[in-house]
């Protein structure tokens, strides 16, 4: 047990390092270096996402003295904090709410005042898609909320979900650029998506959309969830796009990502190996695939394997949990010899609609669940990984971290 305790402590240490490497304020400071933010007219600072507050704080500290500034930040309630010189608004995540619609309108109103002499700086991080809902013409907030609920339980990858969301919004898929015109836009972006596709991060407010209404409809039909879409959404996606002027250009800068966090963990642990920074797929398929990799580790040597990415869960029940918790639980149920520990956690500190960042299981977890009379199979069938991991004391709870660069997984065997 002492050996397992040491491995659990090491996994938590590495997870903390992964989160620290994605510190949003430091990322903005690195990106700006010695640059001072300014404009001939007004400097508009707009931050949206789970990391909006620290990103905005760092940006405000780099504003050139004498510059006229208007700033607004939109984040989730847990990460909200007052900022001098900035209007802070809160909205819901992962399902958009009325407060988010108010926030989106506030951002649009602010940016509609721009002139060619102004400069817009956008600070974008994960979660921005749900936090800033601006339903397209003919759609309502209720429509958007229903779409999000269906998408979150569909098993679709995040890029595909944001592909669809873009076609239902005024701000996503470059919409912010159109509203900010004619002012030039510079964006500093913290990536929470596999592959760092800027079009998918927060549904790409400062880049061109991933696809079209037609391709979004095709994705929904392929996933067999078209029938679950509100009628207004079906009608919208079945109508051809109107003619639009070319999308204004923007200077987009990726300033932190999942890969940065993986590299930081590897640097902090000489034995660590990065196996993949593109861990994707349904957790029901991913868990046995990971188990095969874990079984191949030599029995008499220390192994520390690192992964990053974003898996998915297909919802079948009404239990409590998230993709990281369910992945950890499914790994705990695999047959893997020796003493080992596996942690899967979201760098934002929030896995699904729970207070847990994820789960950390070990070679004794299944025994602890049995001793607690936990009906693991039934809980798994109900997507209730939280209850199972709670029974074995395997939840990872960090609180909101103020950042988001997707998920990391740590396996230690020795």
The CATH homologous superfamily for domain 23-256 is: Glycerate kinase, MOFRL-like N-terminal domain (3.40.50.10180)
Q: Find how far residue 352's CA is from the centre of its chain.
A: 11
pLDDT in tens, 295-336: 999 988 999 999 999 999 988 899 999 999 999 999 999 999
Give tens-digit pLDDT for 99-114.
999 999 999 999 999 9
Find the mean pLDDT for residues 336-362. 96
Tens of pLDDT, residues 28-60: 999 999 899 999 999 999 999 999 999 999 999
Q: How far apart are CA 49 and CA 187, in angstroms?
A: 13
Whether pLDDT at 15 is above 90? yes
SS3 category, 255: strand
- Per-residue pLDDT, averaged over 109-124, amounts to 98
What are the tens digits of pLDDT across the range 243-300? 999 999 999 999 999 999 999 999 999 999 999 999 999 999 999 999 999 999 998 8
Q: Where are the domains of the chain?
A: 2-19+259-413, 23-256
Indicate if the alpha-carbon torsion angle 290, 293, 299, 304 is positive or negative. negative
Confidence of residue 157 (pLDDT cuts 50, 70, 90): confident
pLDDT band of residue 158 (cuts 50, 70, 90) is confident
Give the pLDDT of residue 300: 83
**pTM of the shown model:** 0.84
Cβ 256 vs Cβ 24: under 8 Å: yes
Domain 2-19+259-413: which CATH number of 3.40.1480.10, 1.10.40.30, 2.40.50.70, 1.10.287.890 = 3.40.1480.10
**What's the confidence (pLDDT) of residue 336?**
97
Beta-carbon contacts of residue 356 (< 8 Å; ≥ 6 apart): 322, 324, 325, 350, 386, 389, 395, 396, 397
Mean per-residue pLDDT of the chain: 95
Angstrom distance (rounded) from CA 382 to CA 405: 28
């Amino acid at each position: 047990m002492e050996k397992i305790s040491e491995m659990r402590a090491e996994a938590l240490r590495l997870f903390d390092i992964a989160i620290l490497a994605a510190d949003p304020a430091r990322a903005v400071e690195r990106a700006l270096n010695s640059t001072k933010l300014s404009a001939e007219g007004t400097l508009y600072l707009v931050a949206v996402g789970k990391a909006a507050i620290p990103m905005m704080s760092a940006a405000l500290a780099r504003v050139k003295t004498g510059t006229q500034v208007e700033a607004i930040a939109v984040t989730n309630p847990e990460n909200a904090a007052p900022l001098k010189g900035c209007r802070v608004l809160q909205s819901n995540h992962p399902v958009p709410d009325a407060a988010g619609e108010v926030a989106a309108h506030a951002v649009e109103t602010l940016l509609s005042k721009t002139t060619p002499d102004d400069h817009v700086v956008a600070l974008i991080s994960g979660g921005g898609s749900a936090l800033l809902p601006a339903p397209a013409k003919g759609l309502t907030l209720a429509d958007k909320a229903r779409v999000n609920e269906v998408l979150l339980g569909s098993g679709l990858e995040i890029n595909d979900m944001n592909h669809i969301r873009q076609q239902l919004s005024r701000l996503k898929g470059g919409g912010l650029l159109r509203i900010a015109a004619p002012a030039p836009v510079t964006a500093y972006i913290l990536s929470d998506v596999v592959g760092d596709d800027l079009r998918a991060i927060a549904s790409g407010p400062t880049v061109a959309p991933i696809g079209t209404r037609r391709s979004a409809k095709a994705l929904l039909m392929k996933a067999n969830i078209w029938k679950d879409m509100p009628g207004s959404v079906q009608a919208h996606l079945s109508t051809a796009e109107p003619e639009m002027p070319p999308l204004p250009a923007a200077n987009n800068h990726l300033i932190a990502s999942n890969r940065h966090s993986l590299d930081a963990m590897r640097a902090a642990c000489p034995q660590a190996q990065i196996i993949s920074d593109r861990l994707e797929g349904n957790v029901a398929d991913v868990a046995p695939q990971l188990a095969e990799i874990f079984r191949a580790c030599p029995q008499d040597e220390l192994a520390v394997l690192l992964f990053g990415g974003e898996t998915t869960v297909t919802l079948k029940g009404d239990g409590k949990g998230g993709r990281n918790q369910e992945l950890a639980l499914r790994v705990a149920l695999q047959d893997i010899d020796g003493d080992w520990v596996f942690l899967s956690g979201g760098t934002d500190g929030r896995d699904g609609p729970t207070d847990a960042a994820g789960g950390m299981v070990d070679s004794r977890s299944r025994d602890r669940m049995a001793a607690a009379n936990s009906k693991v199979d039934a809980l798994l069938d109900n997507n209730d990984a939280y209850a199972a991991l709670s029974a074995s004391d395997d939840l990872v709870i960090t609180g909101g971290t103020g950042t988001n660069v997707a998920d990391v997984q740590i396996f230690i065997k020795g």
